[in-house]
């Protein structure tokens, strides 16, 4: 496996193509489930697990699945893993299962998983696909957890279920607050990202200038 490609996959999943903040995919669970940090982590990890498994299977079968029926085939594979995760959660973490409600089966039609299957797993070998699933899923988890922490601290005065103080601004746990927080987070993430990106670009430009000794 090529180290540079792995680094690219990791950076893509976590930052450059962060599914929540850069691609704005999977917004439904993002808005509905980030009322508490624990829900965010639970949802993120469930999606990560399903993403890795489905990416691996789809990547294995990428030469077998005819391209005309690839979407139903992908959905079938994803649905298999979603059902497994649902059963496991229902058995071992019933409280999380309750709080995720309808959004757990809805992972089947989550754009992130379908998107990665379509744009990455169906074109790349198994190893890379598994890594891509891992890092995209972690990017999603980290986004959901941060939003969850922000909304839980301000909206319910607690953190990961532990009570902090009595002061609550219930706006942040309402759905209007979800859209507001999401917008603010996208703006902040992209603002910071663009700043760092342009700095790195400038740095590379200077290096190239020093190497070649001429203006690009």
Q: How far is the CB of 19 from other proteins (least distance, A)?
A: 25
Half-sphere exposure in the Cβ direction for 99 (13 Å, CA): 15
User: Between residue 145 and residue 184, which ones bind other proteins under the rule CB under 8 A?
Assistant: 167-172, 174, 176, 180
Beta carbon nearer to other proteins, 74 or 172: 172
- Applying CB under 8 A, what is the total number of residues that bind other proteins? 9
Beta carbon nearer to other proteins, 70 or 168: 168
Residue among 124, 181, 185, 188 nearest 154 (CA): 181
Q: How far is the CB of 171 from other proteins (least distance, A)?
A: 4
Beta carbon nearer to other proteins, 171 or 205: 171
Q: What HEC string does 104-135 produce?
A: CHHHHHCHHHHHHHHHHHCCCCHHHHHHHHHH
β-bridge mates for residue 163, sequence order: 158
Beta carbon nearer to other proteins, 170 or 197: 170
Instruction: State how beta strands 162-163 and 158-159 pair.
Output: antiparallel
Q: Does 190 bind other proteins (CB under 8 A)?
A: no
User: Between residue 3 and residue 42, which ones bind other proteins under the rule CB under 8 A?
Assistant: none
User: Between residue 39 and residue 58, which ones bind other proteins under the rule CB under 8 A?
Assistant: none
Q: How far is the CB of 157 from other proteins (least distance, A)?
A: 12
Q: How far is the CB of 176 from other proteins (least distance, A)?
A: 7
CB 178, CB 189: distance < 8 Å = no
User: How far apart are the C-alpha atoms of 205 and 216, rounded to whole Å?
Assistant: 8
User: How far apart are the C-alpha atoms of 60 and 43, rounded to whole Å?
Assistant: 26
Q: How far is the CB of 25 from other proteins (least distance, A)?
A: 25
Per-residue tokens: 123: 């074109």
Beta carbon nearer to other proteins, 42 or 177: 177
Beta carbon nearer to other proteins, 26 or 155: 155
Per-residue tokens: 210: 């020093």
Question: CB neighbours of 82 closer than 8 A, spacing ≥ 6?
Answer: 50, 104, 105, 107, 108
Residues that bind other proteins (CB under 8 A): 167-172, 174, 176, 180
């Amino acid at each position: 496996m090529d180290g540079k490609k792995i680094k690219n996959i990791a950076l893509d999943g976590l930052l450059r193509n962060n599914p929540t903040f850069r691609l704005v995919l999977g917004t439904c669970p993002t808005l509905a489930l980030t009322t508490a940090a624990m829900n965010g982590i639970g949802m993120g990890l469930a999606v990560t697990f399903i993403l890795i498994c489905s990416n691996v299977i789809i990547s294995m079968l990428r030469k077998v699945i005819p391209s005309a029926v690839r979407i139903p085939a992908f959905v079938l594979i994803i649905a298999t893993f979603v059902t497994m995760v649902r059963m496991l959660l229902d058995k071992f973490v019933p409280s999380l299962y309750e709080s995720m409600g309808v959004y757990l089966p809805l992972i089947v039609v989550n754009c992130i998983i379908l998107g990665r299957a379509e744009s990455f797993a169906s074109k790349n070998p198994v190893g890379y696909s598994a890594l891509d699933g891992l890092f995209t899923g972690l990017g999603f988890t980290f986004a959901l957890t941060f939003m969850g922490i922000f909304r839980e601290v301000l909206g319910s005065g607690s953190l990961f279920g532990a009570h902090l103080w009595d002061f609550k601004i219930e706006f942040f746990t309402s759905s209007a607050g979800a859209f507001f927080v999401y917008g603010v987070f996208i703006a902040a993430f992209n603002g910071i990202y663009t700043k760092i990106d342009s700095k790195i670009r400038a740095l590379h430009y200077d290096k190239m200038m020093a190497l070649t000794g001429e203006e690009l």
